[in-house]
C-alpha cells in the first residue's frame, strides 16, 4: 500500500498529538458516539480541543484528575453503554500506571476502549528519562485483543484515530510531542494490519514507524548516493503486523533494518524479527534504544545522542549490506 500524495509540504510541521482533539471532534460531527476520558492533561493531549469544538461536546470529555487507573475504568464503563471511549494521558502514565486496568478490564473483555496517549518516546525532550516512555509498544502488543498503531505524522495520526474508532475493541495509538514534517497527504487512509511502502528498493529493507519514518527517508537519500538502494516500509500497524509485505521485501533485498523510537526489546524490531525468523530468515539489524532510559534534552539532540537519526540508520544499513 502506497500513500504518498502530491499535496505534501514537508515544511509544515505538526506533532502527532495535535491530531487528537480535532479528530475526535470530526468523528463526533460524523455521528460517532465518541467520548474522551483524560487524566488531568486535557491541554497537553489536546482533548480540550474536542470539548471546545462545540458546546455539546464539553459533556463528552471526562477529566478524572491524576488517576489513570480510574480513567481506564471510567472509559470501560462508557464503552459498556455503547460509547467509543478514547483515553488520554502521557504515555508513561497512560500505559504504565494503568497497565492492570488496560489488561484486565479493557482487553480481557474486548471493550471498545482506545488507549491514545501522547508524549511517547524521547520526543518528550526536556521532561527527561522519567517521562520518556520507551516500553509502551512492548507492553501493549503483548496483551491479547490489543491492536497497536504508531503513526508517522499529523495526517497519518488523524487516519489512525479514525481507524481506531472504526475498529471494534481495544486499540493503542502512540502519539508524540515533537513537531514532525508531513509524510502523508490529508486524504490518507490506513487499514488495520497493513503497512505502507514509501520507497521501493533492491538492496536493503528499512522498516520503521513514528518519527523514524522521516529519518529513514532521509537515510535512503544518503544511501542512494553511496550506491545502496533502500526500500522503506512504514509499519504503522505493529499489531497485527503486515508480515506479507515485509517478507516479500526481504525476499527481494536479502536483509532488513528496523528503526524505532522505542526500546529494541519488545517493540517493532522484535515483531519483525519474529516474522522473518519464522518465514524467511535473513540478516537483520536494529536501530533503537539499547536497554537504557532517556535523558533531558532537545528532541533533535536526543535523536543523535542515542543513535536514532538518519546518520545512525545509514551507518547500520551500510554495515548490514557489507556483511550480507
Helix (H) or strand (E) holding 19: none
Strands 196-199 and 13-15: unpaired
**Comparing C-alpha atoms, which of 171, 186, 149, 13 is closest to residue 84?**
171
**Comparing C-alpha atoms, which of 258, 252, 259, 204 is closest to residue 231?**
204
Q: Give whole-number Cα distances, 196 to 4, 81, 85, 275, in Å.
A: 9, 35, 27, 17
Please pick, among 56, 68, 298, 301, the residue that the annotation labels catalytic. 68
State yes or no: is 322 an active-site residue. Answer: no
**Comparing C-alpha atoms, which of 118, 110, 108 is closest to residue 87?**
118
Match 467520548 to its residue by C-alpha cell.
35
Contact 62/97 with Cβ under 8 angstroms?
no
**DSSP characters for 168-193?**
SS-EEE---SSEEE--S-TT----TT
The residues annotated with a catalytic role in the active site are 68
Amino acid at each position: 500500500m502506497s500513500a504518498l500524495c502530491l499535496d505534501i509540504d514537508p515544511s509544515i510541521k505538526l506533532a502527532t498529538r495535535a491530531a487528537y482533539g480535532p479528530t475526535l471532534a470530526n468523528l463526533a460531527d460524523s455521528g460517532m458516539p465518541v467520548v474522551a476520558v483524560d487524566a488531568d492533561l486535557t491541554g497537553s493531549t489536546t482533548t480540550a480541543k474536542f470539548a471546545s469544538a462545540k458546546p455539546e461536546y464539553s459533556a463528552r470529555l471526562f477529566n478524572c484528575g491524576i488517576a489513570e487507573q480510574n480513567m481506564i475504568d471510567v472509559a470501560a464503563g462508557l464503552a459498556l453503554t455503547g460509547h467509543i471511549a478514547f483515553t488520554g494521558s502521557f504515555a508513561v502514565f497512560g500505559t504504565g500506571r494503568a497497565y492492570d486496568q488496560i489488561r484486565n478490564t479493557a482487553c480481557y473483555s474486548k471493550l471498545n476502549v482506545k488507549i491514545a496517549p501522547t508524549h511517547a518516546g524521547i520526543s518528550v525532550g526536556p521532561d527527561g528519562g522519567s517521562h520518556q516512555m520507551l516500553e509502551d509498544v512492548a507492553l501493549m502488543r503483548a496483551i491479547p485483543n490489543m491492536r497497536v498503531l504508531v503513526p508517522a505524522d499529523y495526517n497519518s495520526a488523524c487516519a489512525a484515530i479514525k481507524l481506531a474508532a472504526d475498529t471494534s475493541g481495544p486499540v493503542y495509538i502512540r502519539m508524540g510531542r515533537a513537531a514532525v514534517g508531513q509524510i502523508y497527504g490529508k486524504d490518507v487512509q490506513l487499514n488495520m494490519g497493513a503497512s505502507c511502502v514509501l520507497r521501493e528498493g533492491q538492496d536493503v529493507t528499512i522498516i520503521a514507524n513514528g518519527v523514524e519514518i522521516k529519518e529513514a527517508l532521509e537515510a535512503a537519500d544518503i544511501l542512494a548516493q553511496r550506491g545502496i538502494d533502500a526500500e522503506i516500509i512504514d509499519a504503522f500497524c505493529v499489531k497485527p503486523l503486515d508480515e506479507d509485505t515485509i517478507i516479500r521485501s526481504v525476499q527481494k533485498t536479502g536483509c532488513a533494518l528496523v528503526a524505532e523510537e522505542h526500546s529494541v526489546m519488545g517493540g517493532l524490531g522484535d515483531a519483525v524479527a519474529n516474522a522473518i525468523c519464522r518465514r524467511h530468515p535473513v540478516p537483520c539489524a536494529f536501530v533503537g534504544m539499547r536497554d537504557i532510559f532517556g535523558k533531558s534534552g532537545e528532541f533533535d539532540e536526543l535523536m543523535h545522542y542515542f543513535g536514532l537519526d538518519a546518520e545512525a540508520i545509514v551507518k547500520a544499513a551500510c554495515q548490514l549490506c557489507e556483511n550480507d
